[in-house]
Amino acid sequence: MLAGKRILLIIGGGIAAYKSLDLIRRLKERGAAVTPVLTRAAEEFVTPLSAGALAGAKAYRHLFDLTDEAEMGHIQLSRAADLVVVAPATADLLARMAGGHADDLASTLLLATDKRVLVAPAMNVRMWQHPATRRNLAALLADGVLCAGPNDGDMACGEYGPGRMAEPLEIVAAVEAALGAGLLKGRHVIVTSGPTHEPIDPVRYIANRSSGAQGTALAAALRDLGADVTFVSGPASVPPPPGVRLRRVETAAEMLAAVRGALPADAAVFAAAVADWHVANASGSKMKKDGSGKAPALRFAENPDILATVAGMKAGRPALVVGFAAETDDVIAHASAKRLRKGCDWIVANDVRPATGIMGGQENAVTLITGAGAEDWPRLPKDEVARRLAARIAERLARGPDAEASGGDI
Ligand code: C5P
């Protein structure tokens, strides 16, 4: 619920602006007060009248509108909100935000505000992928700007790919998460992420296809709720999020050592795809073909199970220990058994058969298995799964385990 929350909604000039009208409705339904601001380009797509009518409030437009300045100056307008939302955030608006421009009402409000800003980018796929947009977004994220979407899909311009604005309900969820900022203040959460690399010799290793995307999104979502996050990452293909304590590791043994070194923690989430085995007879020098045609015999030894080790700690166990289960068949049965076997509180289970496109992809369809049962979540972008999971972690740490345990194990 967003009762009593004030949202300043900046509507940029893109075809997705029509969805911002629905966003106003959805925010209002949840009790938020919405003040719309339209850029000049936005007025080509939606009218101040419709935005204002849906918001039940004046829609602001121009910087030098003297009536507005008399009623409420732009500095005051930028601060009289709990959150500033930019939807759609066009490539141009992101560039102007990243550059600190203040040449119209929207950009001036964004520069003057002392509140958090959430952007919902929407643009053509090539514009989204352009290095300039990537640079601008990276700069904004590093400044602490929050981002919802964009999603993959058919675009109004006839192309397909990332660049479609997040759906209004996804933006609402991001708004709720952003306003929950502080829910995890003072809490320390450890997140493991990415694959591990287990050396065969100094130049070769055994790895897996984990990109680290879900763990990275989760660390960012926990950070956004105010948690102090230790992010223990194997060699992932997605960059680590800013604003977390990064511990880079390669092997499972190093990951366990980094996790131990990061304890104590209030919660620990094990999203890493840890190799089950390492090569016991890894060579200290590069293995060479000896011309005999005989392949070297690798001997494997089991890696420590980091999740089970932490979940089974007698002293200093985090209050909430969450594991992931990537399964290819009988997902819920296997994941439920895994929860009990490993002694963790929750398991986030997902189906990683190649046909699902989940491993290495941008979306995830998970089932959250707790002591109270199994909850299927819809297929969602990984950062939305992360936000929901972070919100659940915050709720559980605030409430304690009692209610859940009374549901009985499944
Ligand atoms: O047994 P499996 O690898 O399927 O278990 C997955 C869960 O256990 C994940 O949460 C993963 O991060 C964790 N795990 C671990 N250490 C291992 C193997 C798995 O922490 N050696």
- Decide: 351 and 331 in contact? Cβ < 8 Å: yes
Average pLDDT (276-284) is 97
Q: Is the CB of 184 under 6 A from ligand 1?
A: no
Q: Categorise residue 375: left if φ over 0, alpha if ψ from -120 to 50, beta otherwise.
A: beta
408 has pLDDT over 80: no
Place domain 188-406 in its CATH homologous superfamily: CoaB-like (3.40.50.10300)
Average pLDDT (257-274) is 98
pLDDT digits (tens, 9 = 90+) for 98-108: 999 999 999 99
Q: Is the CB of 367 under 6 A from ligand 1?
A: no
Q: Is the CB of 270 under 6 A from ligand 1?
A: yes
- The whole-number pLDDT of residue 358 equals 77
121 vs 119: CA distance, rounded Å: 6
Instruction: Specify the pTM.
Output: 0.67
- The whole-number pLDDT of residue 406 equals 39
CA of 165 to the centre of ligand 1 (A): 34
Question: Which atom of ligand 1 lies nearest, measured to the CA of 303?
Answer: 21
Average pLDDT (297-311) is 97
Domain regions of the chain by residue span:
6-179, 188-406
Average pLDDT (130-147) is 92
Q: Catalytic: 157?
A: yes
Q: Is the CB of 325 under 6 A from ligand 1?
A: yes
- The whole-number pLDDT of residue 403 equals 56
Question: Which atom of ligand 1 lies nearest, measured to the CA of 252?
Answer: 21
Residue nearest to atom 6 of ligand 1 (CA): 325
- Decide: 335 and 350 in contact? Cβ < 8 Å: no
Long-range contacts at 51-57 (CB < 8 A, ≥ 24 apart): 51/9, 51/11, 51/20, 51/21, 51/24, 54/21, 54/24, 54/25, 54/28, 55/9, 55/24, 55/28, 56/28, 57/33
18 has pLDDT over 90: yes
- The whole-number pLDDT of residue 161 equals 81
Mean pLDDT of the chain: 91
**Fold topology of 6-179:** Rossmann fold (3.40.50)
Ranges 62-66, 93-97, 187-191, 334-338: which has the least confidence: 62-66
Per the document, the length of the chain is 410
Angle formed by the axes of helices 48-55 and 17-29, nearest 10°: 10
Long-range contacts at 97-105 (CB < 8 A, ≥ 24 apart): 97/136, 97/140, 97/145, 98/135, 98/136, 98/137, 98/139, 98/140, 99/136, 104/39, 104/40, 104/62, 104/63, 105/37, 105/39, 105/60, 105/61, 105/62, 105/63, 105/65, 105/74
Q: Rounding to the nearest 10 degrees, give the CA dihedral for residues 56, 59, 65, 70.
A: 30
Q: Which residue among 75, 132, 156, 157 is the active-site one?
A: 157
Average pLDDT (142-153) is 88
Residue nearest to atom 9 of ligand 1 (CA): 324
pLDDT category of residue 245 using cuts at 50, 70 and 90: very high
376 has pLDDT over 70: yes
Q: What angle do CA 395, 401, 403 make, to 5 degrees?
A: 90
Average pLDDT (378-398) is 89
pLDDT category of residue 182 using cuts at 50, 70 and 90: confident
Residue nearest to atom 2 of ligand 1 (CA): 325
Average pLDDT (384-397) is 91
Q: Is the CB of 307 under 6 A from ligand 1?
A: yes
Q: Is the CB of 274 under 6 A from ligand 1?
A: yes
Residue 49: Cβ within 10 Å count: 9
Angle formed by the axes of helices 382-399 and 213-224, nearest 10°: 50
Q: Is the CB of 272 under 6 A from ligand 1?
A: yes
Better pLDDT: 303 or 382: 303
Ranges 158-162, 197-201, 329-333: which has the least confidence: 158-162
404 has pLDDT over 80: no
Question: Which atom of ligand 1 lies nearest, measured to the CA of 324?
Answer: 10
CA of 274 to the centre of ligand 1 (A): 6
pLDDT category of residue 410 using cuts at 50, 70 and 90: very low
- Decide: 121 and 178 in contact? Cβ < 8 Å: no
Q: What angle do CA 3, 26, 362 make, to 5 degrees?
A: 110
Residue that has been written with the tokens 């089932």 in this structure: 367
- The whole-number pLDDT of residue 181 equals 64
